[in-house]
Every structure is written in C-alpha cells, then in structure tokens.
C-alpha cells in the first residue's frame, strides 16, 4: 500500500514500507530538457552534474562522502521531462539522505572553479555519446520527428551552450524552475510513515511555496521523415517509429501491452522471433514506447547487416501489419497479458526500480497504481482495442525511418 502526504509548500511525498535493511529515496523534479530554450539548452542535465559541487554548508567532497561514506550510493539522472536525485542506503541512514537532498536542492552554490571542471566532464560525455550509435540514434530520431519543438532538444545540450554556462545562469535557471510545486519525494524502505513525514517536514517544510515558470502549453507537431546518415559504422543502425499515446491518453495501457508483444524484453517478442530467430541478420532488435505529458513515441531499433536493409524494413512492416489486420486470439491475448504483468511484478521486486517508478507516477498523476490495479487495467485490454490502435498508428504512411550507415 502506498502512503501519501503533501507539505504546506506543495512538496509531495509517496512512500511504501517494506522490511528491507536498505531504503531507496529520491526527489523527482518535473523539469527536464523540454523546459529549456536558446542558450539554456542542456542546462537541466548540467545542473544534475553540478548540483553535487558545493553548498553553503558543504564542499564537493563532503557531499559525495555523506552517503558513500556509510556504504550508500548517491546518483541522479535527467530526462526530457524530469530530473531525479536519489540515494540507496541502509535504512538507518534515511535521515542523512533527506537532509542532503534538501541541502543540495536549496543551498547549492555552483562554485565557478567546480563548474569549469564539470564542463570538461560533460563535453567528454557528449563526445562519448557520439561514439555510441545505438544510443545516439534515439536522440536523433526525436530531433527529426519533433523538429522545432523543445522535445527535439538533446538532453546533453550542445558544446557551445555547455561552455557558456556560468554560476549566475545556472542559479537563475534553477530558481525559476526547481520549485516546490514540481517536487515529489519518493521513498521505499523500512521506516514508519510518521517518521518519514517528520523527516520531510524537518528538512523541506521551511522553504516557501514556489511555483515554476516552465510552460508546456505548446504541443509538439510530428514530422514524418526517411533519412540516412553516414556515420561509418560496421553495422547499419536502423530506427523505425511513429507517434504514440501520451501519458494521459486513455489508450496508454493498451499501447504499452502492444509494445511489449511486438518488441519487449522477452525472447518470444514478435520482432525477435520473426527477424532475429528466423533470419539471424541482427543481434539486437527491440521496440520501445516513450510517453510524454502531451505526446508519445514508438520506436523499433535494430543493428543489422547493411545488405539486409530492405528485407528488414519489409519484415518490420509485416509484423506491424499483422496487428492491423488480425485480432489476437483469446489465448494470445491472455498469454501476452500474463507475461506483461509478470514482468512488471519482477521489475518491482527491485525496490530501487519501484522508488523511481512511484516517484514518476506521483509526479504525473498525483496517484500511484498498485500492482493489483495495474494488473486489472492490463487484463481489461481487449483484442479489439489492440487492433484499433494498431490501425490508427501503424499505417505505413505514418512511419518514419532513420538509418546510420
């Protein structure tokens, strides 16, 4: 059972108690790369790096040692729509985790010397990313399909922008956007909920209610494309994709199930069986569904033998056409539902995954579905829904293609 509380300044808390010696805690902020513009592009990710570099109370070493020094782990990540700072530690150290989150979120100083050093780190991250075409192709695909919209921004930003970041510009972006109305504290661990509330009030409640200047009122347009980029790779990296439901779309559950059938992590996915197992001309093939607050994307990725390009595209289109033309049988649908529920249950067995999942859910929906509620929704999906959404989204003239060669 999940428990909820909201502080007087708008910061929300979601908690689940378990009997583990380890507690996972984090702060989700509803700010990501889509909330940047112009010279700010890349700022959310840079803040994720530099927020550990010093506060009015601590230097960088003391921040890093605060959790790691007791055997825990401190980390952070940035997406197109969220930033998360999180830690895993023995349950008895939850107090120090929450105190540290509060300190770095509200008292970071971003010293110029540390910022200049961190710029080099991020510039090398950008370079390293360009050496990983299987990752880079996702960002390039989004850049093409969301052209002209903030969702097209690369999370890492540009080298020019990163070099131009200053202490003042970082503080300005943080003060305008990392506000209490956009924060969720998520905790999964062995603690009493009354203690959790007490600690959150102790470290977070004294900050005033702050509202963000971020504006997501402009929905993205989708731009269909068919593009080949010469990156001198040994494999041909291929991405095929199309628009998909956003997180508030009532078709989201049905499409999540459909994506899992087509190219989910199981070896019996339709793509894996129809292409990798049958023909053997790719090592990695998968599909992914990424819903945003007002849009969504479906992608199929594979690394293939360049000579099999046309055959591969033909096979992918054939797999998708099966869902447009045919209803899943009762047995096929039931097996797919059972598989998806089982995968979700196993994923939630990892408490860190659960903490991150409930933080994102509460940030988006002000509610977290239990596994039983998710199972109910998945089992309620009908074969007719699967075919209807396939016909709507998988039409050949709706697909976009990106090839690295």
Q: What is the pLDDT of residues 140-171, one digit of tens each?
A: 999 999 999 999 999 999 999 999 999 999 99
The answer to whether 147 and 223 are in contact (CB under 8 A) is yes
Domain(s) of CATH 3.30.830.10: residues in the chain: 3-204, 226-404
CA 327 from chain centre, in angstroms, equals: 31
Residue 232's CB: how many other CB atoms inside 10 A? Answer: 7
| Nearest Cα residue to 190 out of 89, 98, 99 | 89
d(C-alpha 23, C-alpha 101), whole Å: 15
pLDDT of residue 14: 98
CA angle, 290 then 296 then 301, to 5°: 50
- Of the chain, the percentage scoring pLDDT greater than 70 comes to 100
| Nearest Cα residue to 39 out of 159, 219, 214 | 159
The answer to whether 63 and 69 are in contact (CB under 8 A) is no
Q: Which CATH class is domain 3-204?
A: alpha beta
pLDDT of residue 130: 87
Residue 190 has pLDDT above 90, yes or no: yes
Q: Which CATH class is domain 226-404?
A: alpha beta
Residue for token digits 């996702």? Answer: 138
Residue 281 has pLDDT above 90, yes or no: no
d(C-alpha 221, C-alpha 208), whole Å: 37
Strands 236-243 and 296-304: antiparallel
Report pLDDT digits (tens) over 351-383: 999 999 999 999 999 999 999 999 999 999 999
Residue 282 has pLDDT above 90, yes or no: no
d(C-alpha 122, C-alpha 126), whole Å: 6
d(C-alpha 187, C-alpha 94), whole Å: 9
* Beta pairing partners, 108: 55
């Amino acid at each position: 059972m999940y428990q909820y509380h909201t502080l007087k300044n708008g910061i929300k808390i979601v908690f689940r108690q378990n009997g583990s010696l380890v507690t996972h805690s984090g702060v989700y902020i509803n700010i990501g790369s889509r909330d940047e513009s112009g010279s700010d592009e890349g700022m959310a990710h840079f803040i994720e790096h530099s927020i550990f570099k010093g506060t009015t109370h601590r230097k960088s070493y003391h921040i890093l040692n605060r959790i790691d020094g007791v055997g825990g782990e401190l980390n952070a990540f940035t997406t197109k729509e969220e930033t998360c700072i999180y830690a895993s530690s023995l349950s008895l150290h939850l107090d120090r985790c929450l105190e540290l989150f509060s300190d770095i979120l509200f008292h970071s100083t971003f010293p110029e010397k540390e910022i200049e050093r961190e710029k080099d780190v991020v510039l090398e991250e950008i370079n390293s990313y360009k050496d990983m075409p299987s990752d880079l192709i996702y960002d390039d695909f989004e850049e093409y399909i969301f052209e002209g919209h903030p969702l097209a921004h690369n999370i890492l930003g540009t080298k020019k922008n990163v070099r131009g970041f200053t202490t003042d510009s970082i503080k300005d972006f943080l003060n305008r956007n990392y506000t209490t109305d956009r924060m969720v504290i998520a905790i999964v661990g062995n603690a009493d909920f009354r203690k959790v509330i007490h600690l959150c009030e102790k470290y977070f409640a004294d900050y005033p209610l702050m509202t963000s200047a971020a504006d997501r009122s402009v929905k993205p347009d989708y731009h269909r494309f068919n593009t080949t980029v010469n990156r001198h790779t040994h494999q041909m990296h291929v991405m095929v994709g199309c628009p998909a439901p956003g997180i508030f779309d009532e078709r989201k559950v049905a499409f999540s199930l459909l994506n899992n059938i087509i190219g989910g992590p199981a070896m019996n996915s339709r793509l894996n069986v129809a292409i990798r197992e049958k023909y053997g001309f790719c090592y990695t093939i998968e599909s992914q569904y990424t819903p945003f607050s007002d849009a969504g994307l479906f992608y199929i990725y594979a690394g293939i033998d360049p000579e099999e390009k046309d055959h591969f595209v033909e096979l992918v289109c054939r797999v998708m056409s099966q869902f447009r033309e045919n209803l899943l049988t009762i047995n096929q649908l039931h097996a797919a539902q059972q598989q998806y529920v089982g995968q979700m249950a196993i994923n939630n067995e990892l408490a860190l995954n659960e903490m991150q999942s409930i933080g994102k859910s509460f940030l988006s929906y002000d509610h977290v579905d239990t596994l039983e509620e998710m199972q109910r929704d998945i089992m309620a999906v009908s074969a007719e829904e699967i075919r209807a959404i396939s016909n709507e989204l998988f039409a050949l003239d709706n697909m976009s293609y990106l090839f690295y060669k």
